[in-house]
Structure 1
Amino acid sequence: MTRPGRRTALLCALAAATALLPAAPVRAAEAPPPLRFADCPDSVPRPAAPERVECGRLSLPLDRHHPSGPHIEVAVSRVRASGTPAERRGILLVNPGGPGGSGLPYAVTKRAKLPERVRRAYDVIGFDPRGVGRSTPVTCGPMGGLFDSPGSDPVPAGPPAERAYLRSLRSMADDCARHAGRLLPHLSTEQTAYDMDAIRAALGEARASFLGVSYGSYLGAAYTALFPHRVGRMVLDSVVGPGDWYDFDVLQSRALLRQRDIFFAWAAGHYGLGGTPAEVRASYLRVRAGLAARPVAGFGPAEFDRAVYRALGRTERWAPLAGGLRGYLTDGGVGTLRPAGPFDSPESRTYEAANRIVKCADGPAPDRRDVVTDIRRTRGLDPQPVLTGMEASTCAFWHHRPAHRTPLGSPQAPPVLLVASAHDPVTPVEGARSLRRLLPGSRVVVLDDDYSHGVFASRGNACVDDTVAAYLVDGTAPTAEVRCPGPGLPAPE
């Protein structure tokens, strides 16, 4: 049975850094010391001359409610505004998403894509959220076999497979408790929002502007709830929405089914996969079944589903996906289906651990029965769904249940700009409209006829980029929802 109110909410939401300087601790009831910057580690890319990136770190309380207790280190990067002092608008903190995305290099990579007038106006500030990258990174060890190669089939079909699936979730939760230890309850979005404000204070700024993408939108909404009077201008792109993480994961899994059907229709008549959507789907299923029966060099059904999940979120990845399906059917190789880089890299292990830990620290856990029920319902819509994004299912077996849900939004915060793609399967557009209700006066900018995740300074759409730049630089907010014409689907190659 679904716990009372959860289904209603579900439907309504349709939502070791050697190159860094030594840190100075933040003491209770005191402002943090100024951030001191030096050269960045080699993992942070260098911007084009004459601009430069610099890095520093802060020592911050593990638990903001107990500031005299243990501390963790948070790594920060900065690329200064390139304009004149008169053009400067302050700092723009940026977060790339996740939970688990490293923000230290993001100050460079995202800034390079921002409109020039935004680069001239803001010091772009990146940071690794607690538990990630160079900010006291955490792992969950084997994570219940997540990094096995090949992994077990992630879509359970039938009661024995469902019981094995639940056992793997329990093992993952046990591994996280064993390896994360005392950090486990404190790697939450709420605690990271406190870290953001400490960065603001350490930089001597009265307010912080913020650009958060995907999970970064959830983090931004948490910051507005805790520090509404510290918010400068905030852009939340590809919005998660204000519901519980598990409910969001279920919504995403259904949106991915719709997106995959669109992919099947798009590929029909091309790539040698069949002339109709049904024939392309049959080719897709043959590839997956073949890999499930006989993995290729460690690439099995779990690896296949991860590759599909990644590809469905950005239309520029559709042609490589279709070509990879054709390649397997032609010569049995996985070719472009296999993503670059190993899944079990240190960065990936930290990402996957932080993703579960943060989600499980942010709010209520699903009932174990709901996990099975929702998989069955999703398989009722399509027998072979993509469940890769169902990370919060692990929370059903979590060792530390949060005392409260992470607060999001505030009527006291200034208007926020929420940006969405009309057909984004990763963060459906309904999330932006749901979150807007918690941020009075805020506006939504929608890129119509677009099917990708990540919009501002990402899709190259002048309507979106100019609207957001005017808000960030001039403070000009739209008076109503903005609908920008989108690119449509790409032409098959």
Structure 2
Amino acid sequence: MSVPPRPTALLCALAAAAALLPSATATPARASASLAFGPCPDSVPSPPAPDRVECGRLTVPLDRNDPSGRRIEIAVSRVPASGTPAERRGVLLVNPGGPGGSGLPYAVTKRAKLPASVRRSYDVIGFDPRGVGLSTPVDCGPMGGLFTAPGTDPVPTTPRAERTYLTSLRRMADDCAAGAGTDTLPYLSTEQTAYDMDAIRAALGEPRTNFLGVSYGSYLGAAYAAQFPHRVGRMVLDSVVGPWDWYDFDVVQSRAMLRARDTFFAWTAAHAERFGLGAGTDAVRRSYLRVRHGLAARPVNGFGPAEFDRAVYRALGRTERWAGLADGLHTYLTDGSPDGLRPASAFDSPENRNYEAANRIVKCADGPGPTPREILADIHRTRRLDPHPVLTGMEASTCAYWHHRPNHRTPLGSPAAPPVLLVASAHDPVTPIEGARQLRKVLPGSRLVVLDDDYSHGVFASRGNACVDGTVAAYLVEGVAPGADVRCAGPGLPGVS
């Protein structure tokens, strides 16, 4: 029996696309299980010829402890290895992050960026994690007003605003319980998704799971290693989430965002003639706050402080977006238009609604949440560091009011797993490098590849760094792990044109 999500246009569209996927042919719990592949839905791009992509779906238990109970479907994609049979190293499962990121098209888009030796060696396997995309998608409806535009200022500064903030979190939790169903919430966890990964491995007839996980994908990889240490093959965890509770991770990230924004201010000031936001860091900060205060006082066409903070959060994660952010600030100060700050895709698109719902549901299923008192105390502490923080990434705050309280945390890592390769950017504000340093403690013998002097999220086959890409490719293709940690020279801050 599939999960009964709320019948919205999003889920109707996803259900129609799912109908294009062929059904699995056997139960994935058995080693003899198989997975039938056929045409993919339109949401999956076609790779350049002669490569091809094919899709299928696998039926798995909603609850791994009740294999005869409710069933859900996992959508899977595959781009076969382009090399000879002698070059083949097996399958490489990939995950793009989130929680909530769709992995079905990622098999095509990420594979296109992988070194040629990796493309020749592996069938790249994408999948939508349970609750995401075409894998029995979840819906939280209005999510406590998250998609209302303009949204309420996400940084409460008065007791009344704090009460409003906590009320919105409670309403979001209520909406998720109503949309996904309280009987489903406990089973949309990372731990359960790790079991789905092993079901995919078994259905493909592979003895080991090779894995490339980015951002949240690193957390998923560590969860797989905890449950199936002897089935781990070559595992690369890029832009690593630390082994913390999700709420604690969100707090760490919010502080890293302050550091990244200060760096952005200094960088913009260094290019004052190009951006016109001020000749010093303090001047740029004042320009930034003029924009935010202006939008808070008078939103423009549904663009207010919540939408502004989301734009800033997104831009700070990749230095190639910094110039666009600076230009958007200048445009608003010049003519009052926030259009330069708007993302290309709508925040309330069907795909993003599913992403935001799955993000909260997974985080709250992975372990205990904070108390309301802890949330407000951390906001106070962060505001003492900077009165105007970016709190967009504090998704796990919703877990304070969750309708199902997990009785344990998702286990991560295992001393029985083989050493894995961790990859990190030295100044990544989305997944700060301390996460990689902490995670390696539960993955003994693992090596850390650091891209120095870099300020972006996503490193391997993303930043175009030959040192990083060569090190990781050698590990994946030849099984050659570095004898020690590796430091690669990074690009530094971006230039301007």
Q: Normalised by the shorter chain, which TM-score bucket? A: over 0.9
Alpha-carbon shift at residue 384 of structure 1 (Å): 0.6
> Counterpart of 1:211 in 2: which secondary structure?
strand
Alpha-carbon shift at residue 30 of structure 1 (Å): 3.4
Q: Is the Cα–Cα contact under 8 Å of residues 26 and 61 in structure 1 kept in the other structure?
A: no
1:30, 1:466 → 2: CA distance? 37
Q: Is the Cα–Cα contact under 8 Å of residues 25 and 36 in structure 2 kept in the other structure?
A: no
Q: Is the Cα–Cα contact under 8 Å of residues 32 and 198 in structure 1 kept in the other structure?
A: no
> Which residue does the alignment assign to 1:482?
486
> Which residue does the alignment assign to 1:12?
none
> Which residue does the alignment assign to 1:307?
311
> Which residue does the alignment assign to 1:384?
388
> Counterpart of 1:232 in 2: which secondary structure?
strand
Q: Is the Cα–Cα contact under 8 Å of residues 55 and 75 in structure 2 kept in the other structure?
A: yes
1:373, 1:440 → 2: CA distance? 35
> Counterpart of 2:264 in 1: which secondary structure?
helix
> Which residue does the alignment assign to 1:453?
457
> Counterpart of 2:442 in 1: which secondary structure?
coil
> Which residue does the alignment assign to 1:68?
68
Q: Is 1:133 aligned with 2:137? A: no
> Which residue does the alignment assign to 1:8?
none
> Which residue does the alignment assign to 1:21?
22
> Counterpart of 1:91 in 2: which secondary structure?
strand
TM-score, scaled to structure 2: 0.95
Alpha-carbon shift at residue 364 of structure 1 (Å): 1.5
Cα displacement string for residues 281-302 of structure 1 (whole angstroms, at most 9, x for unaligned residues): 0000000111111111111100
> Counterpart of 2:74 in 1: which secondary structure?
strand
Q: Please give the residue correspondences for 1:180-259 in structure 2 after superposition, counting only pairs within 5 Å.
A: 180-181=180-181, 182-259=183-260
What amino acid does structure 2 have at the position aligned with 1:466?
G
RMSD: 0.9
Cα displacement string for residues 212-240 of structure 1 (whole angstroms, at most 9, x for unaligned residues): 00000000000000001111100000000
Q: Is 1:491 aligned with 2:495? A: yes
> Which residue does the alignment assign to 2:89?
89
What amino acid does structure 1 have at the position aligned with 2:68?
S
Q: Is the Cα–Cα contact under 8 Å of residues 138 and 354 in structure 2 kept in the other structure?
A: yes
1:95, 1:23 → 2: CA distance? 21
Cα displacement string for residues 311-334 of structure 1 (whole angstroms, at most 9, x for unaligned residues): 000000000000000000001111
> Counterpart of 2:184 in 1: which secondary structure?
helix
Alpha-carbon shift at residue 395 of structure 1 (Å): 0.4
> Which residue does the alignment assign to 2:467?
463
2:241, 2:32 → 1: CA distance? 31
Alpha-carbon shift at residue 32 of structure 1 (Å): 6.3
2:115, 2:460 → 1: CA distance? 10
> Which residue does the alignment assign to 2:46?
46
Alpha-carbon shift at residue 403 of structure 1 (Å): 1.9
- Where structure 1 has 5 or more consecutive residues not aligned to the other structure, the ranges are 1-15
> Counterpart of 2:237 in 1: which secondary structure?
strand
2:205, 2:213 → 1: CA distance? 21
Q: Is the Cα–Cα contact under 8 Å of residues 32 and 202 in structure 1 kept in the other structure?
A: yes
- Identity value in percent: 78
Alpha-carbon shift at residue 25 of structure 1 (Å): 5.7
> Which residue does the alignment assign to 1:318?
322
Report the number of matched residues: 477
Cα displacement string for residues 118-164 of structure 1 (whole angstroms, at most 9, x for unaligned residues): 00000000000000000000010100000001111000001110111
Q: Please give the residue correspondences for 1:72-471 in structure 2 after superposition, counting only pairs within 5 Å.
A: 72-181=72-181, 182-268=183-269, 269=272, 270-471=274-475
2:24, 2:452 → 1: CA distance? 46
Cα displacement string for residues 14-69 of structure 1 (whole angstroms, at most 9, x for unaligned residues): xx212101234627x63463000001001100000011000000011000010100
Cα displacement string for residues 155-194 of structure 1 (whole angstroms, at most 9, x for unaligned residues): 0001110111000000000110111003211100000000
Alpha-carbon shift at residue 87 of structure 1 (Å): 0.4
> Counterpart of 1:491 in 2: which secondary structure?
coil
What amino acid does structure 2 have at the position aligned with 1:470?
A
1:63, 1:23 → 2: CA distance? 18
> Counterpart of 2:483 in 1: which secondary structure?
coil
Alpha-carbon shift at residue 435 of structure 1 (Å): 0.5
2:87, 2:424 → 1: CA distance? 28
Q: Is the Cα–Cα contact under 8 Å of residues 150 and 298 in structure 1 kept in the other structure?
A: yes
What amino acid does structure 1 have at the position aligned with 2:253?
Q
What amino acid does structure 1 have at the position aligned with 2:236?
V
- Where structure 2 has 5 or more consecutive residues not aligned to the other structure, the ranges are 1-14
Alpha-carbon shift at residue 341 of structure 1 (Å): 1.4
Alpha-carbon shift at residue 492 of structure 1 (Å): 2.8
2:51, 2:473 → 1: CA distance? 21
